A and B are shown apart, each in its own frame.
Chain A
Amino acid sequence: MNTVIQPNSFKTGPDEEGMFGIFGGRFVAETLMPLILELQQAYDDAKNDPAFKAELQALSTHYAGRPSKLYYAEGLTRHVRQLAREQGLDGGAKIYFKREDLNHTGSHKINNCLGQILLARRMGKTRIIAETGAGQHGVASATVSARFGLPCVVYMGATDVERQKPNVFRMKLLGAEVKPVSSGHGTLKDAMNEALRDWVSNVEDTYYLIGTAAGPHPYPEMVRDFQAVIGTEAREQILEREGRLPDTIVAAVGGGSNAIGLFHPFLDDRQVEIIGIEAGGRGLDGEEHCASMSAGRPGVLHGNRTYLLQNKDGQILDGHSVSAGLDYPGVGPEHSWLRDTGRVSYVPVLDNEALDAFTLTTRTEGIIPALESAHAIAHAVKIAPKMAQDKIMIVNLSGRGDKDVHTVGQLLGMDI
């Protein structure tokens, strides 16, 4: 592994070239380059404009329902303490959920979409395109497009269209056009390729609303900034509730937007352990997982350098995860950098572990979590019993699981 310089602060990136160490950058076709530069200029102006901030703040409060709650998951905490006793331990950390599932549209995705739609309007763009995996970002994009009266085209892998039917229907209800993409395995990677092709072909009027903290600079930075409200709120809320910072924070990482949103405000709180959970799929031995940071290596795709699942010729692999939102062979570049600096640990959780956590959370908390979030909960349940009872953990409950009931029903052999 490369030796990575330890920075004084983990919060200053990216640099002017959009790099987080060796990761990130602007690896795009020349056609897109002027647009990326225009977008960066527009974003730099917007973030320093009090009127932009005020408008976003008002929408976040009255439309999306922020701040989202920080909820003490008492039932799950009781469960991990029981597990501890069964292992002859007296531990069991106190688990809090950051309730992004309670946002309008049911996930953290709305945070980013509100920010970017305001930016698109500022830039005078009249057509919105987006890619989506689980459909959460597609729904959020369709939602803000409806709210602001802009036409919206959502690219979605054909496989995902099949396994996320309720979200496809929601997008259509909201007036968006859903275009299934059948190249590759028909998942998020292929949807992103197709969205980039659309953008290259319609540069004049189209705004590409990327849903995760990946892609060419400035997207990773911008999406992170719009999602950082998660961590900023969580930090204030835990200080108010417990009078101190948490010991551990955990979030699932696909492209990594909910995770970077929770992590970023805590990066310089060195006493806080930060853990990102990758989709371990059916195990890391074969190719049926999406753990790019645990089992991949750095490469260049979709405009940035980052950890990728690829073969020895640099061809990108498709990967697999039970959760459509984590089914992506790459990850946002800032995560790659945080991995190499050692500030954040990234560990895989298997499909079946996530399924168990899905069921467990539903039964112990009366909350149906998204399969993405269930990955994070699964790891929390694994490590909490070994932590003392006075330890505090925050898990990002990035979305609600209603969209996943068909998938889970199938896997559990139930007909719904």
Chain B
Amino acid sequence: MTRIDAKFAALKAEGRPALVTYFMGGDPDFDTSLKIMKALPEAGSDIIELGVPFSDPMADGPAIQAAGLRALKKGMSLTKTLDLAARFRQGDDTTPIVLMGYYNPIYIYGVERFLKDAVASGIDGLIIVDLPPEMDTELCIPAIRAGINFIRLATPTTDDKRLPKVLQNTSGFVYYVSMNGITGSALPDTSRVAAAVQRIKKHTRLPVVVGFGVKTAEQAKIIGSAADGVVVGTAIVNAVANTINPDDSLVADPAEAVATMVKGLSSGVRASSASFAAAE
């Protein structure tokens, strides 16, 4: 049982959906992003998605792209992202960490070496945007062998015929991208999200979390009532960006800004517990 499995089991007992929070490693700099990461569990984040910056994030919107470029400019790398996770783990041995990014930095690092170092750094899962199931021999199978969950994205274009293929080697949870498009676009229709989650659940017993577009506690509450978890990414990345002046100086403490936002979102998912329990 990984930390991810344990967390979802605990949340099920509690009767509420998970709050999954994404932030970009190294944004606005290494030390500040470590502070942000450390603030997340206390503020109510159940699972942390740690973004690995990449020069060409072709499935991400302008906010996450800009965050990645800010991090890269400050010298962030995959090696340092693993280090960030390891330092977080020194003070927190339970909150699951999912590394999210693109394949090339891992491919260049070397898959076997990466998996060894990821395990040592306390990484529990991977979401690699540009590795569909057709490419499972690259990283997915070796990751499973190393005891790391490989979490897959399902989208509205993933039809019933394709879902089994997508879910075949997926573990930890399924990440339903609630609309076609890049990260940070507008929020979709809730009833359609609920229907899609139910559709996926016909094919798997894994928890299904929903992402793309959630910004407020109210939205988190509504989406949370229809799924096993809510992912918030772009809103958090924007909260960080809003604390940075054009000359790189800070107007406010990014960790505090993120904590305030996550506390609000957390109240949202906690309020959706009743309807979640009813749906079970």
**By the criterion of a CB under 8 Å from any partner CB, how many residues of chain B are at the interface?**
40
CB-based contact A28/B132 at 8 Å:
yes
Which chain B residues lie closer than 8 Å to A25 at the CB level? 134-135
Q: Given the complex of chains A and B, what is the CA–CA distance between A314 and B111 in angstroms?
A: 13
| Interface stretch (choices A30-38, A266-274, A356-364) | A30-38
Chain B residues 154-185 with CB under 8 Å of chain A are 154-155, 157-159, 162, 166, 177, 180-182, 185
A side interface size, CB within 8 A:
37
Tell me, yes or no, whether A61 is within 8 Å of chain B by CB.
no
Task: Check B55–A315 contact: CB distance below 8 A.
Answer: yes
- Residues of B with C-beta under 8 A to A312: 108
Q: Is A336 an interface residue (CB 8 A)?
A: no
- A305 neighbours in B (Cβ, 8 Å): 107
Task: Give the contact stretch, choosing among A119-127, A196-204, A338-346, A393-401.
Answer: A196-204
Mask: chain A, 273-304; 1 = CB below 8 Å from B; 0 = not: 00000000000000000000000000111110
Choose from A30, A201, A315 the contact partner of B158 (Cβ within 8 Å).
A30
Does more than half of chain B's interface fall in helix, strand or loop, or is it mixed? loop
Q: Are A26 and B108 in contact (CB-based, < 8 A)?
A: no
Of A197, A308, A314, which contacts B106 at CB under 8 A? Answer: A314
A127 to chain B, nearest CB (A): 14
Q: Determine if B130 and A27 form an interchain contact, defined as CB atoms under 8 angstroms apart.
A: yes
Nearest Cβ on chain A to B53's Cβ, whole angstroms: 8
Residues of A contacting B198 in the complex (Cβ-Cβ under 8 angstroms):
none
Please determine whether A314 and B105 come into contact, CB atoms closer than 8 angstroms: yes
- Residue-wise, chain A 24-63 has the 8 Å CB interface mask toward B (1 for contact) of 0111111111110000000000000000000000000000
Min distance, Cβ B257 to any Cβ of chain A, angstroms: 25
Q: Provided the pairs A197-B182, A200-B181, A300-B104 are in contact, do residues A183 and B59 lie with their beta carbons within 8 angstroms?
A: no
**Are A17 and B134 neighbours in the complex by a CB distance under 8 Å?**
yes
Q: Which one of B79, B159, B182 has the greatest number of beta carbons of chain A within 10 Å?
A: B182
Residue of A nearest to B182 (CB): A197
> Which A-chain residue is minimally distant from B102 (CB atoms)?
A300
A238 at the interface (CB under 8 A from B): no
Does B39 have its Cβ within 8 Å of any Cβ on chain A? no
* Contact call A313/B130, Cβ cutoff below 8 A: no
Within the assembled complex, what's the spacing in Å between the Cα atoms of A32 and B180? 9
* Interface mask (A178-222 → B, CB under 8 Å = 1, otherwise 0): 000001100001001100110011111000000000000000000
Chain A to chain B contacts (Cβ below 8 Å), 27 pairs = A27-B132, A29-B130, A29-B132, A30-B158, A31-B59, A31-B155, A31-B157, A31-B177, A31-B180, A31-B181, A33-B132, A33-B157, A34-B159, A183-B65, A184-B55, A184-B56, A193-B57, A200-B59, A201-B180, A299-B107, A300-B130, A303-B130, A313-B79, A313-B105, A314-B104, A315-B77, A316-B104
Q: Which 7 A-B pairs have the closest CB atoms?
A: A314-B108, A314-B105, A201-B181, A313-B77, A315-B55, A29-B59, A314-B104
